[in-house]
Structure 1
Amino acid sequence: MQKKLFSALLLWLCCQLAFGQQPEQSMQEKQFKKWAQTPPMGWNSWDCYGPTVEEHEVKANADYMAKYLKPYGWEYVVVDIRWYVANDKAGGYNQTDPIYLMDRYGRYQPAENRFPSAKNGQGFKALAQYIHQKGLKFGIHIMRGIPKEAVAQKTPILGAAGITADQIYSDSLQCEWLKDNYTIVANQAGAQAYYNSIINLYASWRVDFIKVDDLSRPYHADEIALIRKAIDQCGRPMVFSTSPGETPIRAAAHVREHANMWRMVDDVWDTWDHVKHLFDVAQQWYPYIAPGTWPDCDMIPLGRIAIRGERGADRMTRLSPEEQYSLMNLFSIFKSPLMFGGDLPSNDPFTLSLLTNKEVLTMHREGDGVKQLFNQDGKVAITSTNKRNGDTYLAIFNLNDGPDNVAIDVPLDALGLQGKYQATNLWNTQDRFLVQDKIRKRLKPHSSLLVKLQRSN
């Protein structure tokens, strides 16, 4: 009897092997969406320093975040584009004679004249350690693909014996606005190994967040899948952000499966037209707002921007205070990742107040079931609910250019509410008023109202 049982068990095991049972998901893959259960919040160097940020500036912004913003949930410090170029210029990429830093495997390295702690092949290890010691997380920006310089030099691909960079590239679909890299041909032997090699390098630097550019427009599904697989095998939690938009809605299922956040639009700067455009694009993305997968409104162009940036002169944001509230209200109720683009140490008290409102950030973190009630004639209403305590949130916006104030009505039954409710203005909690049947507010052009609704006894 025992021999029969043993034989049956042996036959069952052989069948499993013979018919190729799928291996279980790696622990890394299972955990992928858990790394961003709430929308990531942090600082990115692009809006204020373009492709020229230096180590001391990154540290200064990390110091400010640790002191003033960390208690409110801000945690990521992200070095944006072209940290591997020693001679880049602000106000337009230096594409004629860039000095690239790259190792023998065709992997970019930080420019040591800008990041002194990267000397002796240390990469971003020391900078990441500095940021981690403050209780924060470290991120970097890269372009998709493989460096043109690596292809020209036929550098070997780490982990793919005998395969060199010139065997895995294509010059088709090269980025239109930055020519550092070529496309990686996903089905070529060595393609996955190259992405594994750079992600493993970043993991050794203790990178927590990776923003990968030129993925979304056009949508590069194959390279997105390669990057995600590389993250899964690297052994380190690493939030994956795709950039820039507009990500096509037809790719929604794919991008939410492979990335933690994805851009809905191209770069957002400090003009009302850029802010207004977000309301139109956002309409198709509400159903995809979920833990671990966040449609991204782009960076927040507030505070002091363009110190050495790409759009205009060094300035405080051109958005009016009312427009700044409207931007923050949209980003927060929509649950977009919040990546501040201004130079943090240059913040004035008003800008700091926009980043440290506990009520607004609670809504951003805990709001659920986000939906748009209407978007018509320049009037917009968006709502969500806090399942933990039952609070209902409502944001209303007047997108019109004016000159007149506009009355906006929102029936309570559109929010699933009946009876009397107390409305609290989240930016000024002393501003409270009772509502029954509907909320009616007159708003100035480009202005908004964000309230929390609680049942009144």
Structure 2
Amino acid sequence: MIRIPFLSFLCFALLVAHTAASGREMPSPYPAPEPGVRLTPPESPAPLINEPRLFGATPGAPIQMSISASGKRPMSFAAAKLPPGLKLDRETGVITGRISRPGTYSFPVQASNSHGKTTGTMTVRIGKEICLTPPMGWSSWYSYSGGVSQENILKTARLMVESGLAQYGYSYVNIDDCWQGSRGGKYRAIQPNKRFPDMKSMCREIHRLGLKAGIYSTPWMGTYAGYMGGTSPNSQGDYSSLALPENKRPQPDQLFGGCPGSQRLGAAKIGPVWMVSQDAKQWAEWGFDYVKMDWYLIDVPSTERISADLKKSGRDIVLSVSNSTPFEIAGPISKTANVWRTTGDIEDHWGSLKKIASSQEKWQPYAGPGHWNDPDMLQIGRLGKVGKANTTFQPTRLTPDEQYFQMSFWAMISAPLIISCDLEHLDDFTRGILCNREVIAVNQTFHGPSEKVLAQDGCEVWIKPLGEGRTAVGFFNTGNERQTVKVPLSLLKLKSPQHVRDVWKQENAGTARQEMNVQLNPHGAALFLLEGKK
């Protein structure tokens, strides 16, 4: 199995921890934070290289990767011993090119600004696997939803850069449902509706910003939102035998009406003519890097067929399958898809978050580089109404503690970090949740699956190996009252003493000798990084 190396910046942080924490004990109990407070420290103006630093591509495929570095702009970038076939844009930190020969290529990189410079190492693996770290990015479904357009996708892409999210590894800008028009073009593939006048130029602009583009479809004849899918009743791609009359469609290209229109009209099934292969060629030609294929029940033969079509498209395209993958097929799905939904659709309330979190333990052995469990999108920030053509957004219904819970839990289980919020009005608290480089590092580092080691009185403790003697430990309170959780180091599979770092606060918490004793707010979480004596 490919091991994702841990961060050099955290190595430095833990070196400091050895000195600062060795002389004091970790408080017992370690206090819960004041509710609603931003725990992430202010961002440093000095350059810091963030995750991801590991990228995968197939031989000869186009490569685009970025040196994700936070700090004051302008910033300049450098790379020594760059593999033949790759080139670096020194102003943006974007690396592009192709590598034909399989292998692992590691090379040093540098980021510099008026406050100093920093160095790190990036790695490209050329082989059969792509998507070597959990995808990070944005999706349109919980924001623009039914009103998604080329204009607001490009607006979001620019905001990803301007807001600094791209500096922390968020790279995918994904169109969800509602982009589809009619079939046509040289492949008789799905063409976009009038809200997307030029898909190819849109993808080119997203790439120019150092980001990647994603799109949505289904192997059904009709999508959940009532647009045409990847199969057809006939070879002409003519859906008129199933579609609503034009005067009864909510939008002109919404052939089957709003959800559950496709189910009601018989389009929510795989049709007699498979056209995903044609669509895949079109996506590749446009320049897409990611596709979400959405249907129920997810099945292995269809997934394998979609995967084969993408591999023949001429471009590396991440395959995300959605939704509610049957656990009985976790084995074969985890060998075929890059991302698979382990749940139904998430909602921005505690009941939904708690239910999803409680169902993830059994899935953990199937995660690994190139293949990730997906408990659905982060419900953080200002959101729209699902299925509506939103122009205004409301704050998530998750409390601040519940937002810390979700981000901490998703980090611990190596879940994709896909946000869907309005980026134009990103407040300081939300930015602190999304842009904590040490929390993101826990998410992006993989040396083995996460494991739940304690469950009592509504609280859980999870561990995740991070390599080189380091372990992430997550504490989670699913109850409605403040709780104090005691866990012996032996249950964490660790020896005494352990140097403890509070990952959210990015500060050293002291030394744990026999146990950890942590206070948690209702629906709250705490996330720590532990390292034993060298």
TM-score over 0.5 (shorter chain): yes
Q: 1:61 to 1:149 in 2, by over 3 A?
A: closer
Secondary structure in 1 aligned to 2:358?
Answer: helix
Q: Which of the residues 424, 432, 436 maps onto 1:345? A: 424
1:62 aligns with 2:137: no
Q: Residue 209 of structure 1 corresponds to which residue in structure 2?
A: 290
Query: Structure 2 vs 1, CA of residues 199 and 400 (structure 1 numbering), >3 Å: closer, same or farther?
Result: same
Contact 1:304 1:315 in 2 (8 A): yes
Rate the CA distance shift 1:226–1:183 in 2: closer, same or farther, 3 A. Answer: farther
Which residue is equivalent to 1:297? 375
Q: 1:165 to 1:28 in 2, by over 3 A?
A: farther
Larger mean CA deviation between 125-134 and 431-440 belongs to: 431-440
Tell me whether 1:36 sits opposite 2:111 in the alignment: no
TM-score normalized with structure 1 length: 0.78
Which residue of the other structure, out of 402, 419, 443, is the alignment partner of 1:364?
A: 443
| Superposition CA RMSD, Å | 2.9
CA deviation vs aligned residue, 1:336-365 (integer Å, no higher than 9, x gap): 011001112221011111121111111111
Show the counterpart of 2:484: 407
Cα shift at 1:296 = 0.2
Counterpart residue number, 1:386:
466
Q: How many residues align?
A: 386
Q: Does residue 1:374 correspond to 2:454, yes or no? A: yes
Of Structure 1 and Structure 2, the greater helix share is in 1
* Corresponding residue of 1:285: 363
- The residue type paired with residue 193 of structure 2 is A
In structure 2, distance between residues paired with 1:199 and 1:350:
39
Partners of 2:458 and 2:435 in 1: CA distance = 29
State the alpha-carbon separation in 2 of the partners of residues 426 and 138 from structure 1.
30
Q: Secondary structure at the match of 2:507?
A: coil
Deviations, residues 45-66 of structure 1 (Å, cap 9, x unaligned)? 1011112112221112111212
Q: Does 1:127 align with 2:213?
A: no
Q: Is the contact made by 1:33 and 1:291 (CA closer than 8 Å) also made in structure 2?
A: no
Task: Please tell me whether residue 72 in structure 1 is matched to residue 172 in structure 2.
Answer: no
Deviation at 1:410, TM superposition (A): 1.7
Aligned residues: percent identity? 28
Instruction: Give the Cα separation in 1 of the matches to 2:220 and 2:130.
Output: 25
CA–CA distance in structure 2, aligned partners of residues 195 and 274 of structure 1: 32
Supply the distance in 1 between the matched residues of 2:326 and 2:161 (Cα, whole angstroms): 36
Q: What is the DSSP-based 3-state SS (H/G/I as helix, E as strand, rest coil) of the residue aligned with 1:368?
A: coil
Alignment counterpart, residue 145 of structure 1, candidates 211, 216, 220: 220
Shift of 1:236: 0.6
> C-alpha separation between the residues in 1 aligned to 2:127 and 2:193?
30
CA shift in 2, pair 1:284/1:366, >3 Å: same
The CA distance in 2 between the partners of 1:241 and 1:235, in whole Å, is 18
**What pairs with 1:154-165 in structure 2 (closer than 5 Å)?**
154-156=234-236
Pick from 425, 430, 434 the counterpart of residue 511 of structure 2.
434
Match of 1:52 in 2: 147
Structure holding more strand per residue: 2
- Distance change in 2, residues 1:398/1:311 (3 Å): farther
Q: Which runs of 5+ in 1 are unaligned?
A: 1-25, 85-99, 119-123, 158-163, 167-174
Which residues of structure 2 form unaligned runs of 5+? 1-57, 62-101, 103-125, 241-257
Q: What SS does the aligned partner of 2:439 have?
A: helix
Q: Which deviates the most, 360-369 or 348-357?
A: 360-369
2:318 aligns with 239
CA positional deviation for 1:153: 8.4
SS in 2 for 1:109: strand
Please tell me whether the aligned partners of residues 409 and 440 of structure 1 are also in contact (alpha carbons under 8 angstroms). Answer: yes
**With CA pairs under 8 Å and 6+ residues apart, which has the higher RCO, 1 or 2?**
2
Moved more, 48-57 or 231-240: 48-57
The answer as to whether partners of 1:76 and 1:137 remain within 8 angstroms in 2 is yes
- In our comparison, the structure showing a higher alpha carbon Rg is 1
